[in-house]
Amino acid sequence: MGEGQLDVAEEDLSSLNTLDAELEAAIESGDEAAFRAALHALLDNVRKVGRPLPADSLEPSGLILPPADAHIDEVRSMLGDEGLIPD
């Protein structure tokens, strides 16, 4: 996301995984509009539920999300077996 680190609680991962699955489906279909909407929904939700860490924090990152203006092929290359957000 390029916005620093956020701490996301375990209980929020289920809703993020649902949005991640929608993003994966949009990528698989090649639907640019659906991809853009799904990416923005995922990033917006992470910002909503995530607690910002201090800028000088050195916490290890559990996952790295693409920026909002990422290209569909760029995000496709970031997907692992479990999407961007592992179960």
In a domain, 16, yes or no: yes
pLDDT tens digits, one per residue of 14-54:
999 999 999 999 999 999 999 999 999 999 999 999 999 98
* C-alpha closest to that of 25 among 11, 14, 41, 13: 41
Question: Which amino acid would we find at residue 75?
Answer: V
In a domain, 65, yes or no: yes
Token output for 45:
């939700």
d(CA 22, CA 34): 9
In a domain, 18, yes or no: yes
User: What's the domain range around 33?
Assistant: 10-51+61-79
Number of domains in the chain: 1
pLDDT tens digits, one per residue of 10-22:
999 999 999 999 9
In a domain, 43, yes or no: yes
Residue with tokens 């640019």: 32
In a domain, 68, yes or no: yes
Helix (H, G, I), strand (E, B) or coil at 80: strand
In a domain, 40, yes or no: yes
* C-alpha closest to that of 66 among 23, 32, 34: 23
Can you give the pLDDT at residue 85?
82
